[in-house]
Amino acid sequence: MKRVETNGVELAFEVFGSPADPAILLVAGLGTQMIRWTVPFCRALAARGYRVIRFDNRDAGGSTHFGHVAAPDLGALAAALLAGRTPTVPYTLQDMAADAVGLLDALSIDRAHVVGRSMGGMIAQVMACEHPERVASLTSIMSSTGNPRLPPPAPDAMAMMTSPAPDPVSDPDGHLAHGLAFARHIAGRRYPFDEAATRHLLVEEARRAHDRSGFGRQIAAIAVGGDRRSRLATVTAPTLVVHGSDDPLFPPACGEDTAASIPAAEFMLMEGVGHDVPAEMYDAVIEAIDRMARKAMAARGPRLTALSL
């Protein structure tokens, strides 16, 4: 794992593949770390001829944590938004998108194929809207546009996600049980829940860094993100939208709305899949990302490469 300083933060990242290959930037989701883009997924993507970069967002993993800033009160935040006020938050999705662009700068990458999951899909969307020259193609996975008319998360899933989790230091077993229960709840019905793999990820995330207040600051950034549809209508990068039919956090209508908001976007529905990309879907998702990236490169001409590591 390496680190770079950019946009006032330090970002932890890892690279798979050759520096001479076109870059794919993988953006992680809310409260999770770059390791959710698993090593097998990254290696399989790199094997298709890409330089694959995964990184920890601010307030996650090995990147800068904003522990000196209290996490916003989510109830007060919701009340302010319902009253039509935009509250001040520690940072925004635009700040997080600027972090990702800064990482590309640090790696001397002019343009990348940007792939984001959940909150990472929102960050990727903001990159495509506000930094279009840096995004060769866009893949938004299990994410949303911020459209206030879309169906909300299932109440039970939202309650589990936002409820306090046991501390991994004082109660590691309780912390693990809480994480496993939530992961099982948001998984779809098509494939058996892989408890062993999920347990490994949860233990590794707790070992790398645990910061529940970081989750609160990230969710505040999502909450004030607003409706991106008018900006998404300006996106020119070839775009793929991937969504699970059983997603309880972002119902399928959220993915459909994302695809409808971006000109010529392609929509890929993963039948029976929840708020996750199970290992059984890796090949199909990687094939789709690769196809979209090659479509972008064919339209542009020369291959998109990094100048140096």
Domains of the chain listed by start with CATH number: 2-300 (3.40.50.1820)
Q: Has this prediction a pTM greater than 0.85?
A: yes
Lowest mean per-residue pLDDT among 61-65, 80-84, 275-279? 80-84
Q: What is the pLDDT of residues 195-254, one digit of tens each?
A: 999 999 999 999 999 888 999 999 999 999 999 999 999 999 999 999 999 999 999 999
pLDDT at residue 303 tops 50: no
Return the CA Rg of the chain. 18
Q: Is the pLDDT of residue 6 over 60?
A: yes
- For residues 215 and 213, what is the distance between their CA atoms, to the nearest angstrom? 5
- Residues with Cβ within 8 Å of 287's Cβ and at least 6 positions away in sequence, in order, are none
Question: Is residue 150 a contact partner of residue 253, using CB atoms and an 8 Å limit?
Answer: yes
Higher pLDDT, residue 138 or 72: 138
pLDDT band for position 305 (cuts 50, 70, 90):
very low
Which segment of 33-37, 157-161, 209-213 scores lowest on mean pLDDT? 209-213
- 109-113 average pLDDT score: 98
Per-residue model confidence (pLDDT) at position 73:
87
**Nearest one of 131, 42, 143 to 95, comparing CA atoms:** 131
Query: Sign of dihedral through CA atoms 39, 40, 41, 44?
Result: positive
pLDDT at 304: 43
- Span of 54-63, 155-164, 296-305 with lowest mean pLDDT: 296-305
